[in-house]
Structure 1
Amino acid sequence: MDEPSAGISRARCALRGGWMDWSRRTILGGAAALGWGALASKAFAKDANPVVMTAQGRLRGMIERGAQAFRGVPYGGSVSGPDRRFRAPPPPPAWTGVRDATQYGAPAIQAGGFPGEPAAAEDCLFLNIWTPAADGARRPVMFYSHGGGFTVGSGNRPSQNGANLARLYDVVVVESNHRLGVMGYLYLGQLLGPEYQGNQGLLDLVAALTWVNENIAAFGGDPHNVMIFGESGGGGKTAALYAMPAAAPLFHKASIESPVGPGDRAPEEATEIAREAMRALGLTDPRKLLELPAEQLLRFQTGEADAAVPGERTGGAQRNNRDRMFWPIIDGAILPESPFKDHAPALSAQKPLIVGGCKDEAVFFNLGDKSTFSMSDEDLRQRLALMLGDRTDDWIRTFRGSRPNASPSQLYIAITTATPWRAYAVRVAEQKAQEGAAPVYSYILDYQSPTKVPQTDYPIGSPHASDIGTKFDNVVPPPGTSAPPNPLSDLTPGKRQTAANMSAMWAAFARTGRPSIAGQPEWKPYTIDRRETMLIDVQCTLIADPEKTERLFWETEKNAGSIR
């Protein structure tokens, strides 16, 4: 076995090393003698069409990449039509016979789509499950919320397929589709009454977690050991769940990755957005919003409906763009506070947390503009001045001091990654550490991919969203995949080893609340004194305060009010 392959194989077994004492007390006691792959092949080769009994009825799944998969499982009832739209999800329907669970369910109504997915639909409350075996065992459950802000995405995407995590690490993976954008976050409580309480997209996630709590034991999962995690918008959703009383009894640990904060929108501001929707759509009665085709509401979200009202965008385009991002409201009940705005949510004080992101987040958001990756010093200054105003030179001076060999393009990526991505992740780690009740683990995905940004000579490094396939260990496309080649893909041994490390760490955290694995440094909790941060790479490194100079500067900027 060559050295990279041997390293990947060691990472595959790293989780086993982390919980060997526990495993001796279970049916997995022979794993050390057999080897994980041998044990897995014996366990996963059975039941080509597994059937599981849930509280709603029987489901027939399939075998996918050596795991049992159940797709398109309804976890809530219909949320369409004038009696259900913009309200909390009803319970899932029951059925007779055996329901086919081999096809993905519809993603939420949204702009755009994704090849190979079903058509988007208003009724989108479906989840997908991957398990080593529906055998009644008590495996950790990893509940993932997809990214895409609060407006796009789905739990069906190939990069976050849970089969490899389930097969390699003996965990159960669950992902859901849930309402997004205008369908998930238009608030009508002050216009139509308390049954339109808002935050319906977050309530969908609570409904999915409730379904997991009631049914996951039948799939070999432990309802008393549930980890929630998510990236970007999914990180924002995870942060929101971390602060929601209704979600608190349903999960036990969390990972917030490349987080987008859920914001601090108040009901009054959200009500004004609903009134704006009525104006843009030519309505005077708010109940008509319950009857319009969902596609017309989506046209309001994307701004296309504004043409119906002459001058609607004049003078207010920037405010409209912000408003129409659609995110949760801080209502004092469903979401009592903006998580990590001022402090860590007290109701999750006892729950361990991972928080971090990618070293080069901003690369992702500039892929459509190749000039970003060949800047001059003057280009850098002009671009940053649009965001930072008269503080631009101070930002450049600080980051050039800590990165003396960086090109103007590299400085731009570093600065626009620091705000908001790194600054927010550090704030979450600080507040959780200050709370002092449960550990928080900080990380940066530090792997530097040699893959070039298309039509440039600029290596992508670790851009935003590159952690998805990495932590799910979906770097190598499955045999027979029909998806078009990804120009940003990286199939090198280094990327595969990094994926083996990160996926093993996340599975270890799901199992024990500690992300350390054999063959890599001990991942110590983040403390205010040392600010321990794991740099995840081919060979990981635990670093104390890896961005100290930059961190101290951006904290000063925040205190001065120049950044949020």
Structure 2
Amino acid sequence: MKIRNAAALGALLASLGASTGLIAKTDCETCTQVDSGAVKGHQDGEVLSFKGIPYAAAPTGELRFRPPQAVQPWSGVLDAAKFRSTCPQVQDVLEEYPYPGRVVKLKDGQEHEVYESEDCLHLNVWTPKIDNAKRPIMVFIPGGAFIVGNGSSDFYNGKKLASHDVVVVTLNYRVGLFGFMELGGVDKRYAGSGNNGLRDQIAAIEWVKRNAASFGGDPDNITIFGESAGGASVNALLSIKSPEKLFKRAIAQSGHSNMIHTKEFAVSSGQEIVKIGGYGSIDEVLKATPLELLETQEAAFREAAIGDLLFAPFIDGTTIVGEPHELIKSGHAKAIDLMAGATQNELNYWSLYDSKLRNPFTDETDAGPATPPIPDELRAEIEKKQSISLDGKYAKLLGESNHSVLRQAQNDDFGLIQPLRQLADNQHGNNANTYLYRFAWKVPTKYLPEGSVDLGSVHALELPFMFGTMDLGWMPGGEKVGAESRGVDLALSKHMMAAWTNFARSGNPNGPGVPEWKPYDNKSHNTMVWNEQSKTVADPDSERRQIWQDVVFGSLF
């Protein structure tokens, strides 16, 4: 259809306004201009929020499995009043979504909520004010094992953090096979597609850098931070060519480069997924509906021995230019100030998926037999080299005899605690602004439901404190804690928000309202332990650290 004149074009745009979120262009105090058009923000607590701004074109049709492309400019004003769509995925019961998905029965015979819109490359901005203040910018990358999750969720609401005089951005990126299936082994034209989710993140940060001034931010002072898969993404972004040109500081929360794949694994798994789906060519994959691709993804999970670890960025030599562990140790990211850390009982999070809160890594659960994460070969190597029994050593250190508890402490160390410590080890010699933390707060025993297991400080538990939302309802007993608004918990949240935003401002988390946080080095191993009595501890759990000191936490697959 051809539009022959401007008046007709204007009429068409007006008719589309209701469905696209465009409104008539009028003068307003909460409007600002980005490089693709005007956007209208809305008061959100003490700050302004701009939700659902597209940072890249919808990766649909011929753009599916392609790198992110520029957004087409719009006329009028985009009303950024609410979150927009979630990238294609099957709902995770522990994730928070802005809108319900479509309920369908998948081939496993069960009903699931699915999200199918590929028009999902949006970001959200919170800022104290639209002015020329050049505030630090914090860009958050959400987690979800690279298969679920989205930045369009109030679990990551940035309004409290932004009230500390920073600009906060959360983003969506393609997950699962839409963002991390490498098709280069199927068709050379699609080489690198297995890093499209990471390319989305880069495109979003580039968008933020270009449009920083429109939100009162400083394009030369960007901090990236992310948790779980978002923390692993931070490691990946530290390993791109010249990361200092894209951001100045980085915070890796409970995610490490051990989740990042090798090229060999990415290529072979991509070929296998296409085979599982019964696709004979790239054209057939492009013609498949999002639901059909999600069915293929679920089938691939069922056949893969590594389950949720099937998708991740991979070392392609182009986007991720080398093995992150080696690059960071060599000084590749020496210009980047770094904060990193983990929770005390990371892998107990996965107990929340079981009806009896059993741990899937140590015990049989609703999901089936236990799946120990530590390779038998590594366990044998450590025990032989150090002349110890890992179970016996941990029993002595913890004063504990329960086999599941002992194994889970080992899993926490292997999976995230020691890899994040090693990240700090690798960086501090290159940049003195390196800080390590351990989040150790847990739901007090008196709030736990009768007969409930004490899961401790699980994966992601620091996020409600760090964002200031105090959204604890997903933890057993957490709802009661939140309802009481205990002063000690609110103080912990206040201290953490101050530390994170101070770090974004200067590369140093210290300042008014923050317990003294000493920088990390590989002699003191200074670690900020966050709990009701937060303080820096020199080398916490030192004997546990020494067990893993010589293990190199590179790519697992």
Give the TM-score normalised by structure 1: 0.80
Whether 1:328 and 2:313 are equivalent positions in the alignment is yes
Q: Which runs of 5+ in 1 are unaligned?
A: 1-46, 307-312, 478-482
After the TM superposition, which residues 466-545 of structure 1 pair with which residues of structure 2 at under 5 Å, given as runs? 466-475=461-470, 488-489=478-479, 490-491=481-482, 492-545=486-539
- Tell me by how many angstroms 1:497 deviates: 1.6
- Tell me by how many angstroms 1:361 deviates: 1.1
After the TM superposition, which residues 120-519 of structure 1 pair with which residues of structure 2 at under 5 Å, given as runs? 120=115, 121-167=117-163, 169-194=164-189, 196-198=191-193, 199-245=195-241, 247-261=243-257, 263-303=259-299, 313=303, 317-318=304-305, 321=307, 325-340=310-325, 343-344=328-329, 346-369=331-354, 394-404=389-399, 410-434=405-429, 436-450=430-444, 456-475=451-470, 488-489=478-479, 490-491=481-482, 492-519=486-513
Cα distance, 1:340–1:117 mapped onto 2, change above 3 Å: farther
- Tell me by how many angstroms 1:485 deviates: 9.8
- Contact 1:361–1:417 (8 Å) recurs in 2: yes
Residue deviations 1:352-382 (CA, integer Å, cap 9, x gap): 100111112122111234666799x999xx9
Residue deviations 1:397-433 (CA, integer Å, cap 9, x gap): 2222222268655434422211211121111111112
Aligned to 1:5: none
User: Aligned residues: percent identity?
Assistant: 29
Aligned to 1:94: 73
Amino acid at match of 2:434: V
Select between 125-134 and 266-275 the one with higher mean Cα deviation.
266-275
Equivalent-residue separation in structure 2 for 1:263 and 1:177 (angstroms)? 19
Equivalent-residue separation in structure 2 for 1:386 and 1:90 (angstroms)? 38
- Tell me by how many angstroms 1:453 deviates: 5.8
Aligned to 1:548: 542
- Secondary structure of the corresponding residue to residue 423 of structure 1: helix
Aligned with 2:89 (options 110, 114, 118): 110
Equivalent-residue separation in structure 1 for 2:135 and 2:90 (angstroms)? 37
- Tell me by how many angstroms 1:253 deviates: 0.3
Aligned to 2:46: 66
- Secondary structure of the corresponding residue to residue 325 of structure 2: coil
- Tell me by how many angstroms 1:279 deviates: 2.0
- Secondary structure of the corresponding residue to residue 143 of structure 1: strand
- Contact 1:237–1:262 (8 Å) recurs in 2: no
- Tell me by how many angstroms 1:154 deviates: 0.5
Aligned to 2:63: 84
Q: Which runs of 5+ in 2 are unaligned?
A: 1-26, 102-114
Equivalent-residue separation in structure 2 for 1:126 and 1:385 (angstroms)? 37
Whether 1:50 and 2:30 are equivalent positions in the alignment is yes
- Contact 1:216–1:222 (8 Å) recurs in 2: yes
Equivalent-residue separation in structure 1 for 2:501 and 2:279 (angstroms)? 50
- Secondary structure of the corresponding residue to residue 227 of structure 1: strand
Residue deviations 1:461-494 (CA, integer Å, cap 9, x gap): 32111111111111169xxxxx999853432322
Equivalent-residue separation in structure 2 for 1:487 and 1:519 (angstroms)? 28
Amino acid at match of 1:66: E
- Contact 1:263–1:338 (8 Å) recurs in 2: no
Equivalent-residue separation in structure 2 for 1:61 and 1:397 (angstroms)? 58
Aligned to 1:8: none
Report how many residues are paired. Answer: 494
- Tell me by how many angstroms 1:130 deviates: 0.4
- Tell me by how many angstroms 1:337 deviates: 1.8
Aligned residues: CA RMSD: 3.2
Equivalent-residue separation in structure 2 for 1:236 and 1:560 (angstroms)? 12
- Tell me by how many angstroms 1:520 deviates: 4.2
- Tell me by how many angstroms 1:258 deviates: 0.7
- Tell me by how many angstroms 1:396 deviates: 2.3
- Contact 2:249–2:507 (8 Å) recurs in 1: yes
- Secondary structure of the corresponding residue to residue 53 of structure 1: strand
Give the TM-score normalised by structure 2: 0.81
- Contact 2:499–2:514 (8 Å) recurs in 1: no
Amino acid at match of 2:305: Q
- Contact 2:38–2:76 (8 Å) recurs in 1: yes
